[in-house]
Amino acid sequence: MPGWAYCQTKKLFTMKVTVVGAGNVGATCADVLAYREVANEIVLVDIKEGLAEGKALDIWQKAPIDLYDSRTIGSTNDYSKTANSDVVVITSGLPRKPGMSRDDLIGTNAGIVKSVTENIIKYSPDAIIIVVSNPLDVMTYQAHLTSKLPRTRVFGMAGILDTARYRAFLAEALNISPKDIQAMLLGGHGDTMVPLPRYTTVAGIPVTELIDRDKLNAILERTKVGGGELVKLMGTSAWYAPGSATAQMVEAIVKDQRRVFPVCVKLEGEYGIKDCYLGVPVILGKNGIEKIIELDLNAEERALLEASRKHVREVMDVLDKLG
């Protein structure tokens, strides 16, 4: 019977996802993963006693209300519970405070990400790792160095969040549904990101036909400092959109959706750039990054991407000096 066969197949299809860091971003990510039933088992890990266990229990107690079967399990720094994870998300580290740039976090968060990555590899050597900790591009570098995994299996979440902010601002300005807006951006996660109006459409219509240049430029500038705007308002980093953006990446991998997303990855000649971690469009599927997509950039876009590369490379050099 087809129904029975489907149920049997579904039962056999087991996936395990670990989220390291049960703070606002990590807990939001775990909650979205559970609600969307992306994995059978979702493990939350945190260094603070009881925090991961409490949040995992709270998410599980929501299951009868929101009608999902994903089990959430918490652990205080016991990585043995994460063993054989298919995907691991790293959100650990200090969040930004008002007046801080992402780069101010490098010294502290690099040590945290290094330690977390070592524990991940110990118990889940075949996992795909998604880095969310800031400064994002350089923490992806740290995790990649520590894990020694191929670049297609260690990468960072930034572009989905940045394009979401860009699309949300456009939807507000045009008074339309954000569902109909498609966008792309490149570069580092920060003020040097490179939004691409040429690749921004509304239901297939170039956005430049729907909004004047001055308004669009204002939205582009707001997008670049979108994270900082929220830090000023709340006194700490955002979490709803970052957590959901990360969960979307996990889902694309677990379900082999082959989604096209901007993702932070080590470039090895693409866009004429080597040995630098930058956001570029990729196809995301069961093997992690299935393909890096190279866009045909114009001279202005290439210049902006080079400026972004220089900034990220400078911060990577700071990490190298820290040893």
Residue-wise pLDDT tens digits, 213-240 = 999 999 999 999 999 999 999 999 999 9
In this predicted structure, what is the pLDDT of residue 95? 74
pLDDT digits (tens, 9 = 90+) for 133-184: 999 999 999 999 999 999 999 999 999 999 999 999 999 999 999 999 999 9
**Assigned architecture for domain 7-156:** 3-Layer(aba) Sandwich (3.40)
Q: Which residues form the catalytic set?
A: 189
- Determine the residue type at 102: R
The pair of structure tokens assigned to 133 is 């900790």
In this predicted structure, what is the pLDDT of residue 103? 66
14: pLDDT confidence band, cut at 50, 70 and 90? confident
Domain ranges of the chain: 7-156, 159-322
The C-alpha atoms of residue 100 and residue 188 are separated, in whole angstroms, by 17
Strands across the sheet containing 201-202 = 181-182, 201-202, 205-206
Secondary structure (3-state) at 197: helix
In this predicted structure, what is the pLDDT of residue 11? 39
Range of lowest pLDDT (57-71, 103-117, 254-268): 103-117
The pair of structure tokens assigned to 253 is 């991998």
Residue owning tokens 């572009």: 159
The C-alpha atoms of residue 286 and residue 16 are separated, in whole angstroms, by 13
The predicted model gives 281-310 an average pLDDT of 98
pLDDT digits (tens, 9 = 90+) for 31-50: 999 999 999 999 999 999 99
Residue 2: is its pLDDT beyond 90? Answer: no
Residue 28: CA count within 13 A, CB half-sphere: 15
Residue 287 contacts residue 152 (beta carbons within 8 Å): yes
* CATH class of the domain whose range is 159-322: alpha beta
Secondary structure (3-state) at 145: helix
**Tally of CB atoms within 10 A around 281:** 20
